[in-house]
Each structure stands twice: as structure tokens, then as C-alpha cells.
Amino acid sequence: MKEHKRIERLMLFSHVAKELNFSRAAENMGISRGHLSEQIKYLEGELNTNLLNRSTRHVSLTKDGEHVLACMESIKMSLTSMERGIHHEKNELKGELKLTAPLLFAHRFLYDICDDFHKKNPGVTFSLNTSYESHDLNKKDFDIAFRSTKNPPQDMVARSLLTYQHSIVASPSYIKKHSKPESIEDLSVHQCLTAEHQSTWPFKSSLVPITGWISLNDNFSLLQQALDGRGIARLPDYFVEKHLRDKKLIQLLNHEEKLEHQIYVIHPPKIKQSARLKAFLIHAKKMIPRE
């Protein structure tokens, strides 16, 4: 038996097992549905077991299928670790760095950090994923994650990079028209610009019910609505500091204690083998303002 063909079929199976849809898995891999189905049936024959329960509308994993998928995930992690080890053994400041970070942090700090580092080290390029998804660095091929979290992963190297709070802000035009809230209770009579499905704002003392005329799934839009005088917003202090300095926004309820949050820089332990990753981490830490 040709072992490489079995490995290929096992990789095909892992795609189907994740999608639980032959058509979608085949499209993602750029092969025909018929070929994919044929290879999975061949694999089941080789293993002498059913890996999938099939019906006209539904595909699910059998117990043996779940076991095979778990084994394939372990193999993929080993391959990722092997590739990362090969890449990180090079001690030259060149090559690609793959980063993932929250969008607001990237907008405020990380784009400038990457640009400045690239100017000093032209051989280094960046691939940057900006989202609020907590990617598993054991499974995803990222070198570094910047993450706002209370519980950084125990199997990673994690260092606190930035402490921040959420500021309550409004434009001078809004305050002139609606007056300034003097206490958190006063927020109940104001237009509070909220994120989706948000009905309270947390302070150290309590959760405060809030209402407003609009909720948005984008902090840039929330900021713009606040700048346009359409309500009060709650946004990370590092994101609004420039507008506070320029007096385009006014910080409210300063006497109320805010909850503190941490942004960590997180990476696999093997990062210590890479000179460019070490250099980038040092550079990033220098460019983040410390209180």
C-alpha cells in the first residue's frame, strides 16, 4: 500500500469532518465532490470502518470518525511546530512575521510599530490578521498574538504589554445641548451609543443600565457618532486620547473608577529561537507608551 496516498486521504477526510459538508469541503480544496466522496469511501475501506454517517441532508461523524479527526489535528499541530522550528532556526532579520491583533489596537499602535520596524529592517515583512477572535497558536500559523484577556493561555509565553480603561466620552456639542452627566445614574437620561446587544456599561462600582438610539458593531462608527455629537460613547482610552487632546471629545465621569484591562503579547515558546521575532518584541515594547 502506498502510504502517501493514505495520508492524502486522511487529510481530505479532516476537511470533510470539519465542514460536515462534501460540497463545501470540495469547493474549499478545489477538487470535485465526486472525487472527494470516492476518496473517503476508499479510506473507509482501508480502515474497515465507517467514518461518517451520511443522509441526503446531513453528514455527521461516527465515533471512529471523531477519533481519526482528533489524530489528524494532532498531526497538523506537529507539522506546524516542525515548520515553525525550521523557520525560527534562522538568525537573520528577514522573512515574514505573522501577527494577529484586535483591530483598535492595530489601528492605534501596531501599524506604526510594524512600519517603523520594517524601515529599520527592510528584509522583514508582515502578514497581519485584525479581529477579535482568539486564535489557538498551536493550530494556527501565527508567530505572535496581541490579545486583550484576563486569562492568557498557560501553554504560551504571555507578557502584559498595555494596561487600559474604557473612557466615557461625548463631543462638546452634545454636552452643550444635553448637559454633562454628573453620576453614572445620570446616564439613564442620555443617548448612549452602544455596541450590539449591549444594555449595560461596567464600572468598578456596578453595572449601569444604558439606552440609546443606535447600536453598532463597529467601534470606528461609534467613535464617529460621538464626534458628530449624536451621543455618549464608551471606548478604550488609547483609542480616543488624540480626540481628547484636540478637545473634539470631553471625558466624562472621571471620578468613577473604571475597570482595568490588559493587552498581552502572546507567542509559542519556540519563538526564542528566532532573532527577528526577538527583535520585533523588543521594538514593540519600546513603542508602547508606559504609564
Q: Which positions of the chain have pLDDT values less than 70?
A: 1-2, 81-92, 270-273, 290-291
All three cell numbers of 246, joined, read 484636540
- Report if residue 280 sits inside a domain: yes
pLDDT per residue as tens digits for the range 140-156:
788 999 999 988 888 88
Residue 148 belongs to domain with CATH number = 3.40.190.10
Same domain, 78 and 210: no
291: amino acid identity, one letter: E
80: amino acid identity, one letter: T
Buried b (16+ CB within 10 A) or exposed e, 96-116: ebbbbbbebbbbbbbeebbee
Same domain, 22 and 144: no
Rounded to whole angstroms, the Cα distance separating 234 from 252 reads: 10
Query: Widest CA span of the chain, in angstroms?
Result: 80
Q: How many domains does the chain have?
A: 3
pLDDT per residue as tens digits for the range 154-196:
888 899 999 999 999 999 999 999 999 999 999 999 999 998 8
- Report if residue 258 sits inside a domain: no
Same domain, 110 and 140: yes
Boundaries of domain holding 184: 166-252
Rounded to whole angstroms, the Cα distance separating 209 from 14 reads: 46
Residue 272 contacts residue 173 (beta carbons within 8 Å): no
Same domain, 105 and 34: no
Locate cell 482595568: which residue? 260
Same domain, 183 and 53: no
